[in-house]
Structure 1
Amino acid sequence: MPRFMGFVRMEEGQGNPPQALFDAMDTYIGEQAQQGHFLDGGGLFGLEDAVNFVVRKGEVTRVDGPYAEAKEAVGGWALLQYDTLEEAIAGQQDFADLHAKHWPECSMVATLRQVPDEEPASA
Structure 2
Amino acid sequence: MRYLMMTKGGRQPDEKLYAEMAQFVEEMTAAGVLLTTGGLDPAGFRVSSSGEEMTVTDGPFTEAKEAIGGFALVEVRSKEEAVELARRFRRIVGDGESLVHQVFGP
Alignment TM-score, normalising by the size of structure 1: 0.73
What is the CA–CA distance in structure 1 between the aligned matches of 2:24 and 2:101, rounded to whole Å? 20
Unmatched 5+ residue regions in structure 2?
A: none
Secondary structure class of the residue paired with 1:36? coil
What is the CA–CA distance in structure 1 between the aligned matches of 2:9 and 2:52, rounded to whole Å? 31
How many Å apart are 1:117 and its aligned residue? 3.8
Aligned position for 1:43: 39
AA aligned to 2:13 is P
AA aligned to 2:23 is T
Per-residue deviation, residues 60-119 of structure 1 (Å, max 9, x unmatched): 111123x3x52221110111011121111111110111112xxxxxx521111111244x
What is the CA–CA distance in structure 2 between the aligned matches of 1:51 and 1:84, rounded to whole Å? 33
Whichever of the two has the greater Rg, that structure is: 1
Alignment TM-score, normalising by the size of structure 2: 0.83
What is the CA–CA distance in structure 2 between the aligned matches of 1:44 and 1:28, rounded to whole Å? 19
List structure 1 runs of 4+ shifted beyond 6 angstroms.
none
1:1-123 mapped onto 2 (5 Å cutoff)? 2-10=1-9, 16-47=12-43, 50-65=44-59, 67=60, 70-71=62-63, 72-100=66-94, 107-118=95-106
AA aligned to 1:59 is E
Secondary structure class of the residue paired with 2:101? strand
Aligned length, in residue pairs: 104
AA aligned to 1:98 is I
User: What percent identity do the matched residue pairs reach?
Assistant: 25
What is the CA–CA distance in structure 2 between the aligned matches of 1:28 and 1:64, rounded to whole Å? 34
AA aligned to 2:42 is G
Secondary structure class of the residue paired with 1:53? strand
